[in-house]
């Protein structure tokens, strides 16, 4: 993206990602939220251990920042297995994948982030590896070519995707388990903020924690990022104590309002209300007006707006709801409220 957003579920910097890792749960018992997924996963892992077999191939999908990578690490730890990680866009050659697969030991967990971005030839190469634990490697070309069948040790593939709709049906069908991670409710977000504050040694009261949780867009990664910003603000302005007032001021300074919306979110909504009378309008027109990629808006802006009921999406395009006008203060004077937390 052309600008840094602190309310995106994706990592912003390598430093932040390292900071985030120190706050992530290491076991299922420590994991907060996604209770249905955690319960099913616990049973599946326990069953695999009792059978003495690797865990089934698993697909985790949902918006960024909800804990897909964390769950992959927890699975490897619970199964006492080695974790090998890769990203879909980086596996652009069959040779890259071949090298990883042939070096996997029995029970190893192979985690592919953004698996929907695997090139087609690489994706097709992985099919027999998932089904039959073998790969067919072609040597030479033309009339002299021959296929070498290479057996693999039984491993667990965990794929993570933020856009499961882009995943091909043949690949999706080869996963034995599929779990959808959804945005966290406010009560779980509050528990996550309190847990992170304890780990960091941050002095935060209940009201301050609730403000940060309510602005975190149901996403743990955003919650930890906002907690860090509020901690820095409190250290300089409020004797290191995060109260409700301190949390509000630190978030307002970042341009975040009481629903967790930032400048890009509000511009997105204002384009629909001001330029297109509330919609419907195509995503391409919105993207062109904002000078943003349509994929950026579809992946990082729209999911949360849809979740909180500020946006509807139909075949005719995007439309805003009455709640959007109410939040922006538009029915009466067409201007946004002075305070982001009014």
Active site residues: 68-69, 113, 162, 221
Cα(78)–Cα(26) distance, rounded to whole angstroms? 9
Comparing CA positions, the residue from 263, 283, 262, 256 lying closest to residue 272 is 283
Residue 108 contacts residue 158 (beta carbons within 8 Å): no
Provide the β-strand partners of residue 193.
none
Q: Which two tokens stand for residue 234?
A: 């409190």
Residue 55 contacts residue 79 (beta carbons within 8 Å): yes
Residue 180 contacts residue 61 (beta carbons within 8 Å): yes
Cα(25)–Cα(28) distance, rounded to whole angstroms? 8
């Amino acid at each position: 993206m052309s600008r840094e957003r602190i309310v995106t579920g994706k990592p912003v910097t390598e430093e932040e990602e390292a900071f985030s890792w120190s706050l992530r749960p290491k076991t299922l018992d420590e994991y907060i939220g996604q209770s249905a997924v955690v319960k099913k996963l616990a049973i599946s892992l326990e069953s695999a251990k009792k059978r003495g077999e690797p865990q089934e191939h698993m697909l985790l999908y949902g918006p960024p920042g909800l804990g897909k990578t964390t769950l992959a690490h927890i699975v490897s730890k619970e199964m006492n297995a080695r974790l090998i990680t890769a990203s879909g866009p980086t596996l652009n050659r069959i040779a890259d994948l071949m090298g990883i697969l042939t070096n996997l030991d029995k029970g190893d967990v192979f985690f592919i982030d953004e698996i929907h971005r695997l090139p087609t030839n690489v994706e097709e190469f992985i099919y027999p590896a998932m089904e039959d634990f073998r790969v067919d490697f072609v040597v030479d070309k033309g009339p002299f070519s021959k296929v070498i069948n290479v057996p693999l040790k039984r491993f667990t593939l965990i794929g993570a995707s933020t856009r499961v709709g882009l995943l091909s049906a043949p690949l999706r069908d080869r996963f034995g388990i599929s779990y959808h991670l959804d945005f966290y409710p406010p009560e779980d977000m509050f528990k996550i903020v309190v847990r992170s504050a304890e780990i960091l040694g941050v002095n935060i009261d209940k009201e301050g924690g609730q403000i940060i949780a309510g602005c975190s867009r149901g996403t743990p990664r955003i919650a930890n990022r906002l907690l860090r910003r509020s901690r820095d603000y409190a250290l300089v302005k409020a004797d290191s104590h995060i109260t409700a007032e301190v949390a509000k001021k630190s978030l307002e300074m970042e341009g975040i309002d009481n629903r967790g919306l930032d400048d890009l979110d509000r511009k997105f909504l204002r384009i629909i209300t001001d330029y297109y009378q509330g919609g419907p309008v195509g995503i391409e027109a919105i993207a062109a007006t904002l000078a943003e990629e349509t994929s950026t808006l579809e992946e990082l802006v729209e999911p949360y707006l849809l979740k909180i009921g500020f946006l509807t999406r139909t075949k005719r395009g995007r439309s805003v709801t009455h709640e959007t006008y109410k939040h922006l203060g538009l029915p009466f004077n067409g201007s946004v409220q002075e305070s982001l937390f009014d």
